[in-house]
Amino acid sequence: MKKPTVEAAVRPRAELKRDLGPWAAASIVVGTVIGSGIFLVPATMIQRVGSVRMVFLVWIVGGLLSLAGALSYAELSAALPEAGGEYVYLREAYGPVWGFLYSWTQMWVAKSGSIAALATGFFLYLADFFRQLDTVFYTLPLPWGPRGGPLEIRYGQIGAILLILGLAWLNYSGVKFGGGVQIAVTAIKVALIAAIIVVGLAFGHAEASRETATSVNLAGFIAALVAALWAYDGWNNASMVGSEVRDPQRNLPRALIGGTVTVIVIYLFANAAYFYVLSPAHVAGSPRVAAEMVSRIVGPNGGHAVSIAAMISIFAALNGSILSGARVPFAAARDGYFFSSLGRVHTQRHTPAAAIVGLGLWSCLLVLSGKYDDLFNLVIFASWILYAMTAAAVIVLRRKRPDMLRPYRTLGYPAVPILFVAGAAILLASTLLDRRRESLMGIGIMAAGLPFYFYWKRARK
């Protein structure tokens, strides 16, 4: 009897499927970027710069920096349409250790912390309708609460955990299904925000109290710019699902660039509506500027309508974060630089099932701990170092691999990648001066992954 060959005995491993079309890719960008920031950030920005004109200048500068990043990433995503986004680009440009550090930071802090914050924010808005969500469900006698006190678990946290698990299951079921949900909720979100803008500009009355001339220092401008870039954060997420986008050479650049431009336009019109109806002083003192604007025009129920719009906005951002974020540890695991189980693809559903489950469960633990904001703030500095390195990878790979097929080439090269890197450098310098301790701790969190990297590197051999 003839023995089976080695090739016949080895079963080919399951792979991801290209089930995401251009609308799904674009909705990941728009849906993930527009979360709660547009409802909260204008107050912080006017406090920092004190001038409506300067607020708009900050939004424009932040938008142009984000667009410069999107244009740079567009070339990389078209040339390297693989799962993991920045993980792949950093690996190809600088070596596997940099890709690993990105995946390590995303899995344990950056993406998981963002997911935890979004899910918690969803239930903070829902508490406007159900006050009991903010009551304590159970108290654990552990010194993990505020100021070392006992850990209090609220009903809203339980709801946030259930929401994360539900969306993890949805994306576990299939990327086509998850992408379809992303298109639907992003369309609803954009329609609701457009309605808020129309209400403000068409039916609002201009606030009688206008701003007076104020001086703006560089520190205030940079602080406002940091807030704006936080609101723009997420434009890079479509690149993480590069191996699941149909015709990625065309659709990924279109999604990254078109999605970022769409967000810039929405943000500028939303702020135009806010500052048309409300004075700068009112915006500065309002934690929920959109709700106050609509309430002033249509009455108290307007605030509830904005809360619903905010929840749908956060829901879309949360789904997009889980859909895209799981692909980063998955890609590292496939290369042998993360837990091997996270590199498995479901044989029937063709999704990175284990990575989705792992990211979802860890995000749930961060929700329970209540420490996601602290952790997320710690890695902002380290994350922006990697963002800048990724944009610079366009230049590095042009020299390192000149023969690489590049279906899309960055518009305005090399000025555009350099512009993004310069903007990131200013942001990093300001953050380091303003929050030296947190920045260094963030570097420490990233560096903590190095022993694991060298362990997995030896294991690969």
pLDDT in tens, 419-429: 999 989 988 88
Average confidence (pLDDT) over 427-448: 87
Q: Is 5's pLDDT higher than 60?
A: no
Residue 441 pLDDT? 87
CATH code of domain 18-460: 1.20.1740.10
Q: Which among 149-163, 225-239, 348-362 has the top mean pLDDT? A: 348-362
Which of 143-157, 165-179, 322-336, 400-414 is predicted least confidently? 143-157
Q: Hey, where are the domains in the chain?
A: 18-460
Q: Would you say residue 6 has pLDDT above 50?
A: no
Query: Which pLDDT belongs to residue 300?
Result: 80
pLDDT by residue (tens digit) across 208-223? 455 555 566 788 888 8
Which one, of 286, 296, 367, 355, lies nearest residue 84 by Cα?
355
Residue 289, pLDDT > 70, answer yes
Closest CA to 417 of 385, 395, 401, 402: 395
pLDDT above 90 for 241: yes
| Residues 4 and 190 sit within 8 Å (Cβ to Cβ) | no
Indicate if the pLDDT at residue 398 is higher than 60.
Answer: yes
Better-scored residue on pLDDT, 147 or 367: 367
Q: Check pLDDT > 70 for residue 30.
A: yes
Q: How many other C-beta atoms are found inside a 10 Å radius of the C-beta of residue 147? A: 5
Spatial CA neighbour of 307 closest among 111, 169, 183, 133? 133
Local confidence band at 128 (pLDDT 50, 70, 90 cut-offs):
confident
Interval 37-94: pLDDT, tens: 888 889 889 998 988 999 999 999 999 999 999 999 999 999 999 999 999 999 999 9
pLDDT for position 187: 96
Give me the chain's average pLDDT, please: 89
Q: Is the pLDDT of residue 27 over 90?
A: yes
Q: How sure is the predictor about 141, in pLDDT bands with cuts at 50, 70 and 90?
A: confident
Least confident among 342-356, 361-375, 397-411: 361-375
- SS3 for the chain is CCCCCHHHHCCCCCCCCCCECHHHHHHHHHHHHCCCHHHHHHHHHHHHHCCHHHHHHHHHHHHHHHHHHHHHHHHHHHHCCCECCHHHHHHHHHCHHHHHHHHHHHHHHHHHHHHHHHHHHHHHHHCCCCHHHHCEEEEECCCCCHHHCCEEEEHHHHHHHHHHHHHHHHHHHCHHHHHHHHHHHHHHHHHHHHHHHHHHHHHCCCCCCCCCCCCCCHHHHHHHHHHHHHHHCCCCHHHHEHHHECCHHHHHHHHHHHHHHHHHHHHHHHHHHHHHHCCHHHHHCCCCHHHHHHHHHHCCHHHHHHHHHHHHHHHHHHHHHHHHHCHHHHHHHHCCCCCHHHHCCCCCCCCCHHHHHHHHHHHHHHHHHCCHHHHHHHCHHHHHHHHHHHHHHHHHHHHHCCCCCCCCCCCCCCHHHHHHHHHHHHHHHHHHHHCHHHHHHHHHHHHCCHHHHHHHHHHHC
